[in-house]
Amino acid sequence: MSIWIIFKLLGSLALLMFGMKAMSEALQKMAGPQLRHVLGAMTTNRFTGMLTGTVVTASVQSSTATTVMTVSFVNAGLLTLAQAISVIMGANIGTTLTAWIMAIGTSGNEASPFDISIVSYVGFFIGIVLIYMKKHRYIGDFLFGIGLLLLGLTTLKATGMSMDLANNDTITSFFKSFDPDSFWTTIVFLLLGGIMTFCVQSSAAVMAITMLLCSTGAMPIYQGIALVLGENIGTTITSNLAALSANTQARRAALAHMFFNVFGVLWILFVFRYFIDMVCGWVGYDVEMTKANASSAAFLANAAKLNFVLAAFHTTFNVVNTMILIWFIPQIEKFVCWVIKPKRVDEEEDFRLHFITAGFMKTPELSVFEAQKEIQSFAERMQRMFGMVRELLLLSSTAIATKKDAQNKDFSKLFSRIEKYEEISDNMELEIAKYLDQVSDAHLSDDTKAKIRAMLREISELESIGDSCYNLARTISRKYNGKQDHFVDEQYDCIHQMMDLTDTALTQMNALMAGRKEAFNVNRTFNTENEINNYRNQLKSQNIADVNNHKYTYAVGTIYMDIINECEKLGDYVVNVVEARMGTRFHGA
């Protein structure tokens, strides 16, 4: 076998894989937000969930993308794990459309009047025109992707024909060395399909190789279908390994996916021959026909149906498996929850990202969605940190007078927690920024670029809120541990009122982060900011008068105003977060 033929074979597989990736990414860019809304709205029960998974996966040609979207929704609380399992079942059906595209792309023979590679060249031409038009560049990317896919398939088929695999003694003797009627032969090829898919990291590539070997007559249909079953398991091994570093729900979803496919393979092994013969009957393929007992034309016409047999089997198997297991989703949910226990960590004292999952291949649309959920969690954590500062102020006001050991310990413990939160805010900013930086390396739409710029500003301002909270805590601690006089009651009342206004601003900010910006009334935040500014100015004037009237010392007044000014500064950071999310500017004081 010539080295050039081997490179041509590998190159055509690379074209196929790249074309599938480009087509899938283009489809997701065109319909990403709409697909997320569909996933959130159409999973009211197990059947609509399954149907949604099928439609979404068939639309974007990526079961991985559907799975990642689904897991993100589970983490966000928009879907239950049971609903996610039904979507993943549907994704298994939707992904079989790939096999049908390949079957059509590799169908026909030398006598066929139509060469499907012509479609790829038409796709390239129209695609490049649309890409340069920019307005419709995603449609152009899609056409380029499907063009590369079809060109890869036709090149793969032509290379297989030129290799004359059916008459290659090395290849045919390898397949003949296995007893076609042996159960162990099926097991060997099933394992081989799983290993190949795991190594290549593409079930589409292994499906293309299987179709090539079967359609050229080199590999019997039963062994080919065993390879297809192995691909189903191989692709779940990849996702389970990827999920090892991810959160609990991601690992449970990946395990449910593996359970679904492994269960299907187990039951199909008991009816293997009968099931295949049934599918062959539907397609019209004669299993018994060989070169020896049929004319050359009849044999070629029969062999041309093999790719459709593989596609039909793939779809029928997944549909039947789904129809069996869809009734047992609660039991599958209990099983995966029993196998994968949640990590026992104190969320408040331990830094970890909740929504950004490592290992999964994601499109920019999905990555931005996950980052948005992580930023929402960041914002909620900062409001909890501010709540701790308010609690620290209360502890200081009661503990200063008594200085009891127990109260001193409580004060020190709470201050240490606030210090820990400040470290967490720094880490969250760095990790989310690093993730967004990785996303920005991809080919992005203008809308996605704008979202990433806004999110980078949001996390910077949220980290500044954390710094302000820590500064407040340090000021309170300095007052608690110092030798200055106590705050008077009026000062405590004013500080609490200022903190109430600041907490209101944080609550409004978190309402925006958790909801849709179209439904958010930004004027409420701007009005709160004006109230904070006006109150700060009022207290500043009052503080000067009170110091002059000797109500308290200048040192106490300085610490008091440090707290007031820091609250006002924190309010400014809140407004900056709101501006970044809303895309508006506030021209207040």
Give me the torsion for CA of 12, 311, 231, 174, rounded to 10°: -70
Q: 271 or 204: whose pLDDT is higher?
A: 271
Query: Residue 129 — very low, low, confident or very high, per pLDDT cuts 50/70/90?
Result: confident
Q: What is the DSSP letter of 244?
A: G
Give me the torsion for CA of 176, 178, 181, 182, rounded to 10°: 180
Contacts of 123 (CB under 8 A, 6+ apart): 143, 144, 146, 147, 150
Model confidence at 34: pLDDT above 70: no
Model confidence at 168: pLDDT above 70: no
**What is the b/e burial string over 244-275, where b = at least 16 CB atoms within 10 angstroms of the residue's CB?**
eebbbbbbbbbbbbbbbbeebbeebeeebeeb
Whole-angstrom Cα distance, residue 192 to residue 184?
12
pLDDT attached to residue 57: 76
Which range scores top for mean pLDDT: 231-245, 261-275, 404-418?
261-275
Find tokens 């609509």 and name the residue. Answer: 48
Whole-angstrom Cα distance, residue 514 to residue 570?
20
Whole-angstrom Cα distance, residue 511 to residue 574?
12
Q: 304 or 511: whose pLDDT is higher?
A: 511
Mean pLDDT of the chain: 80
Can you count the helices (H) and strands (E) in the chain? 22, 0
Contacts of 351 (CB under 8 A, 6+ apart): 423, 424, 427, 428
pLDDT attached to residue 360: 46
Stretch among 138-142, 267-271, 320-324, 550-554 having the lowest mean pLDDT = 138-142
pTM of the model: 0.65
Whole-angstrom Cα distance, residue 38 to residue 53?
10
Whole-angstrom Cα distance, residue 203 to residue 391?
56
Contact (Cβ atoms closer than 8 angstroms) between residue 120 and residue 105: no
Q: 304 or 137: whose pLDDT is higher?
A: 137
Residue 244 tokens, joined: 């090892």
pLDDT tens per residue across span 383-395: 999 999 999 998 8
pLDDT attached to residue 348: 47
pLDDT tens per residue across span 416-436: 999 999 988 888 899 899 888
- The Cα angle at residue 127 between residues 361 and 451, in degrees rounded to 5: 45
- The Cα angle at residue 263 between residues 74 and 97, in degrees rounded to 5: 70
pLDDT attached to residue 5: 76
Model confidence at 589: pLDDT above 60: no
pLDDT attached to residue 285: 81
Model confidence at 529: pLDDT above 90: yes
Contacts of 261 (CB under 8 A, 6+ apart): 92, 232, 233, 235, 236, 321
Query: Residue 73 — very low, low, confident or very high, per pLDDT cuts 50/70/90?
Result: low
Residue 132 tokens, joined: 């340069």
Query: Residue 113 — very low, low, confident or very high, per pLDDT cuts 50/70/90?
Result: very low
Contact (Cβ atoms closer than 8 angstroms) between residue 284 and residue 303: no
Whole-angstrom Cα distance, residue 429 to residue 504?
23
pLDDT attached to residue 137: 80
Give the start-to-end residue ranges of the domains of the chain. Answer: 3-339, 364-582
pLDDT attached to residue 90: 87
Instruction: Say how many C-beta atoms besides its own lie within 10 A of residue 320's C-beta.
Output: 14
pLDDT tens per residue across span 285-307: 877 776 666 666 776 677 778 88
Which amino acid belongs to residue 371?
A
Ramachandran quadrant class, 77 (left: phi over 0; alpha: psi -120 to 50; beta: rest): left
Please give the average per-residue pLDDT across 542-554, as a whole number: 92
Model confidence at 245: pLDDT above 80: no
Model confidence at 537: pLDDT above 90: yes
Percent above pLDDT 70 for the chain: 78
Query: Residue 359 — very low, low, confident or very high, per pLDDT cuts 50/70/90?
Result: very low
Whole-angstrom Cα distance, residue 270 to residue 183?
10
Please give the average per-residue pLDDT across 3-23, as a whole number: 79
Contacts of 473 (CB under 8 A, 6+ apart): 388, 389, 392, 415, 418, 419
Q: What is the DSSP letter of 288?
A: T
Architecture of domain 364-582: Up-down Bundle (1.20)
Which amino acid belongs to residue 370?
E
Please give the average per-residue pLDDT across 213-221, as a whole number: 76
**Would you call 344 helix, strand, or coil by DSSP?**
coil
E runs forming strands in 255-318: none
Q: How many residues does the chain have?
A: 589
Which range scores top for mean pLDDT: 89-98, 161-170, 247-256, 550-559?
550-559
Q: Which of 93, 86, 106 is nearest to 59 (CA)?
A: 93
**What does the DSSP assignment read for 92-154?**
HHHTTHHHHHHHHHT---TT-S--THHHHHHHHHHHHHHHHHSTTHHHHHHHHHHHHHHHHHH
Query: Residue 585 — very low, low, confident or very high, per pLDDT cuts 50/70/90?
Result: low
Find tokens 């059947």 and name the residue. Answer: 47
Please give the average per-residue pLDDT across 405-417, as a whole number: 82
Please give the average per-residue pLDDT across 549-558, as a whole number: 90
Query: Residue 222 — very low, low, confident or very high, per pLDDT cuts 50/70/90?
Result: confident
**DSSP H or E stretch at residue 509:** helix 489-514
Query: Is the dihedral angle over the CA atoms 53, 54, 56, 60 positive or is it negative?
Result: positive
Whole-angstrom Cα distance, residue 463 to residue 424?
9
Whole-angstrom Cα distance, residue 419 to residue 471?
10
Q: Which of 499, 585, 490, 503 is nearest to 546 (CA)?
A: 490
Model confidence at 402: pLDDT above 60: no
HEC-encoded secondary structure of 533-550: HHHHHHHHHHHHHHHHCC
Q: Which of 372, 327, 334, 339 is nearest to 354 (CA)?
A: 372
Whole-angstrom Cα distance, residue 551 to residue 456?
46
